[in-house]
Structure 1
C-alpha cells in the first residue's frame, strides 16, 4: 500500500507494519520495539543467574504464566540501564510475519533506509549483524518474546557474535535444545518462598495485610504460578475480599476460575488473557497435530487426577479408552503402534507445548500437570460430559492399579474363606506404589465430590453402581496400603472413611459393611482379634436385620444379602479359631448351614448342602466336643455321600466311621453299633473284592500290612464296634470281637506295635465287665 512521503505499509488485516520514508540513521544507543513495563512488585529471580559466562543465545522455556516475559524484560531493562547495550531489539514473536516486520523495522531505523518489503528488510538486518557487516561490533540484545512455532525462526536466528546476545521466550520445548551456542533455561513457577514474598508485597502496596498462613495457603492453592498470583491479588484489591474468603470461593464447586480473576479490562501488568484462557492457544495448536480432539481429551482425562504424578499405566488405559471412542483411526495404526506407543506420542506432544511434564522413565509419576492447567481444563468441559469424564478417569485409575487381570475386586481377599483363598496379594508386585494411587484418588474425590459416593446419574458408567455407594477405587487405596505391608496406614485410612460413609449411606449399607470388614481384619492382624470378632458379629447382625419383613426385597436381593452374611461368617470363624473359641466356631458353622438352607429354599434347590461345607461343619462340631451337633451334620454328610457314590465307596468309609463314633458319644450306643456293623461289612466285602480282582496285596509280612490303609481302617472299625457293643450292654460280644481282632493283629503286626497293647487293654477291660455282677446295660 503506497503512502505519502515515499512511505508504505505492509502486512495483512490482523497485523499491519508501517515504514516511514527516509529518515536519519539511529544514534547509539538505540532501542527498537517496546519492552513490557515492569510488573507490579516484580520479584527478581535467580533463574537466569549462572556461575559461568552465559551463552550468547539463551532460550527461556516454560508454561504460560510462569513469568518468562517479565524475566526477559528485566534482563533487557537492566542491561540497557547499565549502559551495556548499543542496540536493544524487542520482538513480539507470535508469528513469522511479526518477526520479519520487527527485523525490517530495526534495519530501517538503524540505517535510515526503508526496505522494499519485510522479507528484504529481515535479510538486510541479519546481514548487518553478521561478521563483516556494519553491526559486527555493535553491542546488542535481541529478545524474541513468545516464539510460538520453531519454523517461524527458520533462517531468522540472529548470528552468534561475541558482542551480541539473543534471548528467546517460548512454550515450545522442542525449540529448547542445547548446542549451537544456545543455553536452555527452564522457567518454573515461583518457589513457595517467592510466592509468599510476592503476595505479601503486592497486597501491602495497596494497604492490605493478611495472615501469613492465609497467604501461604493461597499461594499453594494457585500452584505458585506467577500469572495466577498476580490476577488473584488484583481481584482481592478490586473486591476487598480477604484471603480466607477468596480461598473459600476457590474451593467452592459452584465457582469458576473465570469469575475469580479480574475482567480483561482490569488485568494487571498489561496482561492480555484471564487465567483460565492462558493455555487455550497451546492446546488448540497441540490438538491440531493429532487426530481431532485426542490431545484435548487426554488432557481432560488427566485433569481430575493428581497434579504431582500420574502413573504411565493410567495413561495407557486412557489411550485405549480414546481408541474406543474413535472411528477414524486407520487400520495400520493398530498394527504398528500399541496403546503404550500412542500414549507416549500424545503425552510427548503435550509436553512439547508445556501443557504438562512427561517423564517416561518415571513409570510411577510419569505425568505432572500444573493444578491451574487442570482446573482450567476441567472447567472447559461441558457439564453434560463432566460427570462421564470424571467417572472414566476413576475407572481408568482402578484398572491400572490392579496387580493382575483376574483381581477384579479387591474385596475377594478380605471376604474369601482361608480354605478357598488365592495366595496373599502381598506376594505380587504392585503396578505402582500405594501413595501414588492414594494421591490420585484424593485428587479425584477433591475435584469431583460425586466420585466418592456415586450419585446414580445416567452419565456415570463403566463400573459405577446405579445406586449410591463407594467407588471400588476408594476401597482400593486402603487395600494396596495393606498389601504393601503398611496395615496401620490402611487402618487409619478406612477408619477415617467410615463415619462420613455411614452418615451418608446408612449404617447397614453394603459399602459400610465393606469398610467395617476391612477395619476388623486389620485390627485383628495388628494383634486384636477380639475387635475383629466384635466387628464381624455386628456386621452380620446389621445384614440380617435387612431381611426383616418390613424391607421389601426381591428374592435375588435376599439371596445376595445372605451370601454376604455367609462371607462374613467365614471371616468370623477364622478369628474365633485364632482366639481359641472352638465352640464359637462350631456355632458359626451351624449358622452357615442355615444360610445354605435359606438360599436353597429361595433358589428352589433340592438336596443337602455342599459336601465341603458339611465336612467343615462336622469337623468343627467334633473339635468343639458337641456330640449331638456332630451327629446331625454327619448324618447329612453320610446321606449325601451315599446318595452320590454308594455305600461301598472307600471315600465314604471315614465319614461313616465318624458318624458311628459320634452317635455313640451322643448316648446312642445301639445306633453306633448298627452304623459300624454295616460299615465293617462293606469294608470286608470291598477287601474281598480287591483280592478276587488281584488288586490287593495279600502278603502277611509286617511291613505290607502295617502300611495298608484299608486294613488299618478295618482294624479301627472293629475296635470301635467292640467298644460300642460293650457300651450297649453286650460286654461278651465286645470280648468276642476284640479276641478276633487281637488274633489277626498278632498274625500281621510286629510284636511291639502299639495297636496290640491297645487291643489287649480293651479286651481285659471288657472281660472284667463280662464277669462282673455290677454291670448294667447302658442304653
Structure 2
C-alpha cells in the first residue's frame, strides 16, 4: 500500500544498503524492530529504502508493505487510514479511528496468524508528527524511517540510526560513467571523476548533471565551467525536466532550512549557514563561527519574517536579544539536527562540515552586495579566531584552509575593499611561520598580483604585499634575490610614502637583513647603523622599532667579526629594554638570548650556558614550554653546554628537545631540522663520528625535500655531512663531497660568499689529509668546529 518510488537509474551498491539489510533481516536474532536512515536531502535515503522494500516483497520476506509519504502528521494519518481500510475493513472517512485500527492490526496477539510486515515512513520532517503513531514492536514487523532529522526522539529501542552520506568518489564516478554511457553521451572516466569531485559526490546532483549533459548535448568540461562560473547559480546547471520527479538541487534543502530556522534559538540557523557557506566545507573550527564578528552578523541578519514576508510569530514582541556564543553553538546544533551540516563539538579543529553544494545554494540565495558583506564577515571571524602564536598546528592549518576557500569563493573585490583584508596577510605569514617558505612566497606573489589589479601598484597594501613576498623569498633561500627586491621596494616607498615613513624604514630594515644573509655581514652592519640613526631621529630612541634595529646592528657587527662590540652593545640594550618594555617583554627576552650567544662567542661558554639557563626559566614562565622562543633558548643552552666541554650532555639535551619539537612541530619544520642538525653535530663531538655522518645524511635528504637543494641550510647540512664523513675515516670521500659542494656554493651563493671560501678551504684540507700531504693543524680544525657550531642554526634577525 502506498506508492513505492520507481527504481533509481543505475542504483549503486552502497555500504549503507548492506548495513540496512543486515540489521532488518537479522532482526529476529538481534531484537531489531526498525531503522532510521538519516542524512542530507539528495543523498539517496528514499532510493535505499525503496530498493530494500521492493526486494523484500519480491523475495517473499514480507507479507505486507505499507509505504507512507510522512512529510507531515496529516499525511501519515491518511496513509494509515487507507491501510486500515484494506487490512481491517475500517471506514477510511473516520481517519483517526481507521489509523488506530491499522496500528492495532500490526500488534502481536495470541492466536493471530503470523504477518510479516514492513512500514516505511519516508521523509519524516518532524519527529513530533509521529507522536502515538509509531508502528508497535513486533517480532516479525519492521519500521524503516527516512528523514533529514537527527533528533533523539526518532531513535528507540531496537531502532537505531544510520547516517547516509554521499557516494564515495569511486561510486560517483562509476554512476556517471554508467548513466552517460547508457544515454550514448561521452563518458570518459577521468572527466567523470573530475565532475564527481565538483559535485561533492552528491547523488541528486550527479543525477541532474547527467540529465543536463544528455539534454543539452554538452561535454563535461563545459558543464564544469558552468558550475565554476560565479555569475551563474545551481539553477542554471539543472536540466529543464528533472528525472524521477526529483526536486532541483537548489530547492532540495529549502524545507530543512526553514525548519532549522524555527528551532531554538529561533532565526539563527539560516545566517549561521550563510557564514559557514563561505568557509572550508571539510572543516570549520567552532571558534570561528562563535567569534565576535560572526555573532554581530547573526544579530544583524536574524530572521524576523517568514520566507513569504509574513510577520514571524515566533519572534518575541520586544525583538531578539543579542546572540551569545552559546546561541551560535545551538544554531549549529539546529542545522545539524536537520542534516544541513555536521557538527562535532568534540573536534575543535574541524567542528563543522558542510556539503559544498549546500554552501553554494546558500551563497546563490544572497544578492551580490550581501555576499560581499558576508565575505568580509567571514574574514573578520577568521582573524578574530587566529592566535598570535600558533602553538596548535592543526588549528592553524584549518584557519589557513578556511582562508583559502574564502579567497576562492569571494568575488574579486570583496576582500580588497578599501585595502587588502588583513586575514590574507595573516594566512601568508602563518604559512611561512610553519616552515612553508616557498608556499608563503607563492601566496604573497598571488596576493600582490590581485592587489595591483584592485588597488594599483602604489597602494600601501600593494607595497606591503611586495614586502612580504621579498621576506619569504629570502627565507626560502634566495637572500640575494630578496635583497634586490627590497632595494627596489625601498626606492618605491621613498617615492610614494617618503623617506621617513615607518614602512620605508621597515623596508630598509629588511634590506639590511637580506644583505647580511646574502653574505655581506659588514654591509648589513653599516646599513643597520644608518637605520638606527634615522629611527632615533624619526621615531625616538625608545621606540620598539629603534630598539629592534639596535638589536640587529649588534648581531651583524658580531657576524662581521666584531664580537666584543656586539656583546657590549647588547649588554647596553638589555638595560634599555628593561626600562622601556619591561623584564617580561618578548623583545627583552630575545635581547638576553642574543647577549648570551655573543658572550659565548667571546670565549665564555660557561657564562653563556648559565645566562641561558636563567633565561629558560623566564621563558617558561612568560611564554610557556611549547613557545618557539622557549624551544630556541633550550637549543642555545644545549649548544653552549657542549661548547663548555659537555658534548654528551649537549646531545642528551638536544635529544629531549627534539622529542618536544616533533610534538609541537613537524619533522621537516625548519626549527626541527635545526635541532636535528645540532644533535648530529654534538653526537659527533661526543665521539660518534659515524653516527653523526649517518644523521647528517638523513638530514640532507629531508632538507632537500622540505627546503630545496639550493637552500643555504641544505648546503650547510651537506657541509657537515662531508666533515663527519671525513672524521669517520673517509677523508677521500670528504674531499670529493667538499669539492662538489664548492661548485654548488659558487653557483648559488657566489664565489665571494664567505661560505664558499670556507668550503673551498675545507676541500683542500681534506684532500691533503687523504694524501697525507699538508695535513691541517689543530688551529685549522678548531676553526672548522667553531664554524660548525654557529652556522647551521644561527638565529634570524628580527624583522619589521
Q: TM-score range by the shorter chain?
A: 0.5 to 0.7
Partner residue in 1 for 2:503: 564
Over 4 Å off, 4+ runs: 133-136, 175-179, 326-334, 495-509, 591-597, 610-625
Question: In structure 1, which of residues 188, 209, 231 is the aligned counterpart of residue 208 of structure 2?
Answer: 231
- Residues 544, 75 of structure 1: alpha-carbon distance in 2 compared, 3 angstrom cutoff: same
- Residues 622, 237 of structure 1: alpha-carbon distance in 2 compared, 3 angstrom cutoff: closer
1:21-60, Cα deviation, whole Å (9 max, x unpaired): xxxxxxxxxxx11111112222232313135624330110
Question: In structure 2, which of residues 230, 247, 258 is the aligned counterpart of residue 253 of structure 1?
Answer: 230
Partner residue in 2 for 1:36: 5
- Residues 41, 525 of structure 1: alpha-carbon distance in 2 compared, 3 angstrom cutoff: closer
- Residues 130, 592 of structure 1: alpha-carbon distance in 2 compared, 3 angstrom cutoff: same
The reply on whether 1:277 has 2:216 as its aligned counterpart is: no
Following the alignment from structure 2 to structure 1, what is the Cα–Cα distance between the partners of residues 439 and 75?
58
Partner residue in 2 for 1:377: 362
Following the alignment from structure 1 to structure 2, what is the Cα–Cα distance between the partners of residues 182 and 622?
76
- Is this contact kept in 2: 1:223–1:372, CA < 8 A? yes
Deviation at 1:524, TM superposition (A): 3.6
- Residues 126, 518 of structure 1: alpha-carbon distance in 2 compared, 3 angstrom cutoff: same
- Residues 151, 587 of structure 1: alpha-carbon distance in 2 compared, 3 angstrom cutoff: closer
Following the alignment from structure 2 to structure 1, what is the Cα–Cα distance between the partners of residues 63 and 553?
100
- Residues 202, 590 of structure 1: alpha-carbon distance in 2 compared, 3 angstrom cutoff: same
Partner residue in 1 for 2:491: 541
SS of match in other structure, 1:254: coil
Following the alignment from structure 1 to structure 2, what is the Cα–Cα distance between the partners of residues 613 and 152?
69
SS of match in other structure, 2:166: coil
The reply on whether 1:355 has 2:340 as its aligned counterpart is: yes
Following the alignment from structure 2 to structure 1, what is the Cα–Cα distance between the partners of residues 552 and 137?
88
Following the alignment from structure 1 to structure 2, what is the Cα–Cα distance between the partners of residues 270 and 483?
53
The reply on whether 1:203 has 2:177 as its aligned counterpart is: no
SS of match in other structure, 1:141: strand
Partner residue in 2 for 1:190: 167
Task: Give the 5 Å matches for 1:549-628.
Answer: 558=498, 562-577=501-516, 579-587=519-527, 589-590=529-530, 593=533
- Residues 545, 624 of structure 1: alpha-carbon distance in 2 compared, 3 angstrom cutoff: farther
- Residues 535, 149 of structure 1: alpha-carbon distance in 2 compared, 3 angstrom cutoff: same
- Residues 268, 326 of structure 1: alpha-carbon distance in 2 compared, 3 angstrom cutoff: closer
The reply on whether 1:476 has 2:438 as its aligned counterpart is: no
- Is this contact kept in 2: 1:128–1:134, CA < 8 A? no
Deviation at 1:158, TM superposition (A): 0.8
Following the alignment from structure 2 to structure 1, what is the Cα–Cα distance between the partners of residues 474 and 339?
49
SS of match in other structure, 1:443: helix
- Is this contact kept in 1: 2:72–2:124, CA < 8 A? yes
Question: In structure 1, which of residues 325, 333, 345 is the aligned counterpart of residue 330 of structure 2?
Answer: 345
SS of match in other structure, 2:82: helix
Following the alignment from structure 2 to structure 1, what is the Cα–Cα distance between the partners of residues 144 and 95?
22
TM-score between both structures, scaled by the size of structure 2: 0.62
Deviation at 1:323, TM superposition (A): 5.8
Deviation at 1:531, TM superposition (A): 3.4
- Is this contact kept in 2: 1:434–1:481, CA < 8 A? no
Deviation at 1:106, TM superposition (A): 0.5
Deviation at 1:199, TM superposition (A): 0.8
Partner residue in 2 for 1:367: 352
Partner residue in 2 for 1:313: 287
Deviation at 1:565, TM superposition (A): 0.8
- Residues 615, 61 of structure 1: alpha-carbon distance in 2 compared, 3 angstrom cutoff: closer
The reply on whether 1:449 has 2:407 as its aligned counterpart is: no
Following the alignment from structure 2 to structure 1, what is the Cα–Cα distance between the partners of residues 552 and 404?
44
Following the alignment from structure 1 to structure 2, what is the Cα–Cα distance between the partners of residues 614 and 245?
56
SS of match in other structure, 1:546: helix
Higher deviation after alignment, 472-481 or 197-206? 472-481
- Residues 159, 562 of structure 1: alpha-carbon distance in 2 compared, 3 angstrom cutoff: same
Structure of larger gyration radius: 1
1:81-109, Cα deviation, whole Å (9 max, x unpaired): 11222111000001111111111110101
Partner residue in 2 for 1:84: 61
Structure 2 unmatched runs, 5+: 303-314, 561-800
SS of match in other structure, 2:53: helix
Partner residue in 1 for 2:15: 46
Deviation at 1:164, TM superposition (A): 1.0
1:444-466, Cα deviation, whole Å (9 max, x unpaired): 12211325751x3xxxxxxxxx2
Task: Give the 5 Å matches for 1:554-703.
Answer: 558=498, 562-577=501-516, 579-587=519-527, 589-590=529-530, 593=533
Deviation at 1:182, TM superposition (A): 0.6
Following the alignment from structure 2 to structure 1, what is the Cα–Cα distance between the partners of residues 506 and 70?
68
Following the alignment from structure 2 to structure 1, what is the Cα–Cα distance between the partners of residues 556 and 339?
69
- Is this contact kept in 2: 1:56–1:161, CA < 8 A? yes
Partner residue in 2 for 1:287: 261
Deviation at 1:366, TM superposition (A): 0.3
Following the alignment from structure 1 to structure 2, what is the Cα–Cα distance between the partners of residues 617 and 354?
56
- Is this contact kept in 1: 2:536–2:546, CA < 8 A? no
Please, what is the CA RMSD of the aligned residues? 3.8
1:130-173, Cα deviation, whole Å (9 max, x unpaired): 12178661111111001111111111111111211111100110
- Is this contact kept in 2: 1:312–1:367, CA < 8 A? yes
- Residues 391, 181 of structure 1: alpha-carbon distance in 2 compared, 3 angstrom cutoff: same
Following the alignment from structure 1 to structure 2, what is the Cα–Cα distance between the partners of residues 622 and 487?
27
Partner residue in 2 for 1:435: 397
- Residues 324, 154 of structure 1: alpha-carbon distance in 2 compared, 3 angstrom cutoff: closer
1:168-190, Cα deviation, whole Å (9 max, x unpaired): 10011015765411121111111
Following the alignment from structure 1 to structure 2, what is the Cα–Cα distance between the partners of residues 624 and 102?
87
The reply on whether 1:159 has 2:136 as its aligned counterpart is: yes
The reply on whether 1:117 has 2:94 as its aligned counterpart is: yes
Q: What is the aligned residue count?
A: 542
Partner residue in 2 for 1:304: 278
Task: Give the 5 Å matches for 1:476-515.
Answer: 476-495=426-445, 497-499=447-449, 501-502=451-452, 507-515=457-465
1:455-498, Cα deviation, whole Å (9 max, x unpaired): x3xxxxxxxxx2xx432212211211222344344344334544
Partner residue in 1 for 2:470: 520
Structure 1 unmatched runs, 5+: 1-31, 404-424, 457-465, 548-557, 626-779
Partner residue in 1 for 2:735: none
SS of match in other structure, 2:165: coil
1:270-322, Cα deviation, whole Å (9 max, x unpaired): 21x21101111111111122455321111111111111001111111155224
- Residues 360, 296 of structure 1: alpha-carbon distance in 2 compared, 3 angstrom cutoff: same
